[in-house]
A and B are shown apart, each in its own frame.
Chain A
Amino acid sequence: EVQLLESGGDLVQPGGSLRLSCAASGFTFSSYVMTWVRQAPGKGLEWVSTIRGSGDYTHYADSVKGRSTISRDNSKNTLYLQMNSLRVEDTAVYYCAKEGDYDFEDWGQGTLVTVSS
């Protein structure tokens, strides 16, 4: 059974930094593209960032480009999202998702990031 468990969400001040983690199990982690998707309170889903299985290819939404870094440690079956220069508008539940056939076939339960002074 695929399991994705996010952690690292917290209350942080504007301009601060945070690193989110997503621990994966139940599949061969290194073989799969992984993605972060976020959802602001009461709002819709927004794609944030994607990383290839080998970690050699990363991609970012314009809203986080230059402020966020996606990475993975395949030896630890863990996905990361380092977020810097956080803004109020980054407040959201952040989900990690395992990609399938051009879709997001499995999702974690999410971790809440709140950016507020």
Chain B
Amino acid sequence: QSALTQPRSVSGSPGQSVTISCTGTSSDVGGYNYVSWYQQHPGKAPKLMIYGVSKRPSGVPDRFSGSKSGNTASLTISGLQAEDEADYYCCSYAGSYTLWVFGGGTKLTVL
């Protein structure tokens, strides 16, 4: 199973919005509504930001939102803040053989 495709980097200025895409196939992203997104700061463990395509765990700011269209999921961060600078990974359930597949990660830079 190939990794999901994410842009290697995105950037935005404080207060702006950015969107990170995550492209898979009908066997993963397109086949299930089980896409999640993780934020990882350098040297830290990943943190769940979005689950079930568009749901936010308690404590995650509503500036973070998720969506999906076909085989592509997206994470949008609005009102960018300096602390949002991190790596972001998407993940999708991929069925009973492969189980889980991650994206290659996107480095978000807040200019």
Chain A residues close to B by CB (< 8 Å): 35, 37, 44-47, 50, 59, 61, 95, 100-110
Check B48 for interface membership: any CB of A closer than 8 A.
yes
List 8 A-B pairs, Cβ < 8 Å: A47-B99, A95-B46, A102-B52, A103-B36, A103-B52, A104-B46, A105-B48, A106-B48
- B99-A107 in contact (CB<8A): no
- B57-A110 in contact (CB<8A): no
* B46: A residues at CB distance < 8 A: 37, 45, 95, 104, 107
**Is chain A's binding surface mostly helix, strand, loop or mixed?**
strand
* B38: A residues at CB distance < 8 A: 45, 104
- A102-B103 in contact (CB<8A): no
Interface residue ranges of B57-111 to A (CB < 8 Å) = 57, 89, 91, 93, 98-105
Cα distance A110–B105 in the bound complex, in angstroms = 18
Cα distance A105–B102 in the bound complex, in angstroms = 15
**Minimal Cβ-Cβ distance residue in B for A110:** B45
- B3-A107 in contact (CB<8A): no
Contact of A45 with B34 at beta-carbon distance under 8 Å, contacts A101-B52, A108-B45 already known: no
Given contact pairs A46-B102, A100-B51, A104-B38, a sample of 12 additional A-B residue pairs in the complex whose CB atoms are under 8 Å apart: A44-B104, A45-B105, A47-B91, A61-B99, A95-B45, A101-B51, A101-B55, A102-B51, A104-B46, A107-B46, A107-B47, A109-B45
Interface residue ranges of B16-73 to A (CB < 8 Å) = 32, 34, 36, 38, 45-48, 51-52, 55, 57
